[in-house]
Structure 1
């Protein structure tokens, strides 16, 4: 198979048409840059995703949130199974309309696609080569047998696009997440529930007239839960969560996926910048992954707008971006990793310490505010 010569010159090539890649492409539309988005038609199943209030503000800047069907999260109830201690985080305490929102993955994609002036180019990134003044990306297309080469000043990897260069760190949590839509006897009242168990966190997020369930547990149990009949599944959920919402009486289709922490420690190349899931993949606890990725995209767009076109991707650009994103990324990684490792154990001493911590958090408004702001805006949020 032969690779054709570069057929398109652009300043910024965005590889990946998920929310983060689309967000970056839309954010750069008013910049004095030529931007090309390369993506395959999405085969990802629809699923509910949690947007922090800070992400809503970023989407508002692109006029992409207005009209997006979203269920507000006004309160978050955090507790642990078989142990004392709980805390409530309320939007009204910070004079906000909501702490976050639950939206459909497909609806978010459509909202961002609607803001694009030019449709994405159909293709899948398979590799790249760098030289002193550009990066040449090799893209395969389902409509042709060969590859095409696109030459750009900068290549932005987004939305889980694998990067074959650059050092990475990985931690397997030996957990899988079971996701489904649930209905319960009691309406949600815009309250989200985060309940920590010995096998992993269990989250119920308000979503439409029901709840979006994200249940982290052992891979073996996750398989059994997906294979169980509806009645058995709902009984097991009730035993794990408790009776605060009354009877669980309906469950939609279920799916599961493995959970691990993965993040890049070096850039894949001088002219290659990973963002979103291409830079870090987090545990879903506290819903930080996508929100961190959107902040990646916004900061990259800001840096590109402030950089002369000819210097995009030039010496020092990727290092400057990494420095700007370092605190937020490291903070998001540390927060989710600590929550999983500290709360996913049945040790009685840890349970007592967790309970005391949750109780203290509930009694200390400044500490609760500190946590809430970092969940909404990232590690660089002001107190």
Structure 2
């Protein structure tokens, strides 16, 4: 028998907290281990792109209304390629949705979720708890963690790894398939001369794809990806030089760019856990799969992991954490995850390729896509709700 009746969740970021709240809705207790100090993530200004389906999950948890003041709706997505006339436009009203998605900061989401978690008697959050090892036997799993220089251990019939992949290499029996793109992503926030009108832009250039997401009254969050050799020098430019180069790549759709905040870069990869039978241990979110940010799918796929796992925990008659239950969960997530990985990898391969002749084909494809209403409808549903 396991010593702890709660489900143990390693990782108190948005995916781990959403899972704990979904379980609490079903009357199921959980213990959440978070490596950072409580509230440390609340000032994190990094932008998250939330799908319309993610909004529906947050509405279930009664937290969406508290997030509305911090969220900027994406009502349209404008897709274009530099140097060509081909363009496509997706509009929420064409698909009977209030919005195609939303942009808000990681910190704002963490703050609202933390407040909800703190108010739940079924959730025990332990902060500054650094997981060091995980072991499993036929009956349960155990995690050893360090807090304030003291070692502790928790056992559970189901241990969920939702730590964004930081501990995977230390977990026995888990292997990951990884594809290194050799690309970096530059992220920052810019202000523009003209209002954004709740339009997001996906712009494909010889220097890499860029996404410009409305964030606030007049600002945009920028994600600019490309080969390391092209992205790294952008950090060395002055603000004025960077804005001039960015404007030259993006164009005049929102006028001049007036200011830029701190620029940061990180390497990009595509990775997924190899399928394996791991009773009493399940991996969700970025710890299970990491996607290129070109389509904004990774975070939303992770929340759908949490939603479906919570459903299986509450509705599977078999033993908690047993092979049968976890096999059913993995089967339920296989299609959505695979399609997300394939879709983002396809976009990277097609739109980061500057071989002679490919650019013209891309331009024609973007133009044809704008006329293919069934394909656009399928894409919007995929981006909003998964499979």
Q: Output the TM-score relative to the length of structure 2.
A: 0.92
Q: Tell me what 1:375 maps to.
A: 383
38-47 or 352-361, which deviates more: 38-47
Q: Tell me what 2:253 maps to.
A: 244
Deviation at 1:295, TM superposition (A): 0.2
CA shift digits 1:77-133 (9 cap, x unpaired): 011122341110000101211000001101101111111114511212221111111
Q: Secondary structure at the match of 2:232?
A: helix
1:66-77 residue pairs with structure 2 within 5 A?
66-68=65-67, 69-77=70-78
CA shift digits 1:347-373 (9 cap, x unpaired): 232222212221111112111111111
Q: Tell me what 1:30 maps to.
A: 25
1:40 aligns with 2:45: no
1:9 aligns with 2:1: no
1:132 aligns with 2:141: no
Residues in 1 aligned to 2:292 and 2:245: alpha-carbon distance in whole angstroms: 23
Does the CA contact (< 8 Å) of 2:277 and 2:323 recur in 1? Answer: no
1:157 aligns with 2:158: no
Does the CA contact (< 8 Å) of 2:211 and 2:224 recur in 1? Answer: yes
Does the CA contact (< 8 Å) of 2:31 and 2:124 recur in 1? Answer: no
Match of 1:234 among 203, 220, 243: 243
| Structure 2 segments unaligned to the other structure (5+ residues) | none
1:366 aligns with 2:367: no
Residues in 1 aligned to 2:24 and 2:15: alpha-carbon distance in whole angstroms: 15
1:195-344 residue pairs with structure 2 within 5 A?
195-208=203-216, 209-267=218-276, 269-308=278-317, 311-344=319-352
Residues in 1 aligned to 2:82 and 2:183: alpha-carbon distance in whole angstroms: 17
| Structure 1 segments unaligned to the other structure (5+ residues) | 1-5
CA shift digits 1:37-83 (9 cap, x unpaired): 11122666431110000100111001111121100000000111223
1:137-152 residue pairs with structure 2 within 5 A?
137-141=143-147, 143-144=148-149, 146-152=150-156
Does the CA contact (< 8 Å) of 1:182 and 1:210 recur in 2? Answer: yes
Q: Tell me what 1:20 maps to.
A: 15
Q: Secondary structure at the match of 1:341?
A: helix
Residues in 1 aligned to 2:114 and 2:324: alpha-carbon distance in whole angstroms: 31
RMSD: 1.6
Does the CA contact (< 8 Å) of 2:73 and 2:101 recur in 1? Answer: yes
Residues in 2 aligned to 1:197 and 1:268: alpha-carbon distance in whole angstroms: 43
The structure 1 segments of at least 4 consecutive aligned residues displaced by more than 3 Å after TM superposition are: 42-45
Deviation at 1:22, TM superposition (A): 0.7
Residues in 1 aligned to 2:221 and 2:20: alpha-carbon distance in whole angstroms: 29
CA shift digits 1:279-311 (9 cap, x unpaired): 001111110000000000000000001024x71
Deviation at 1:267, TM superposition (A): 3.9
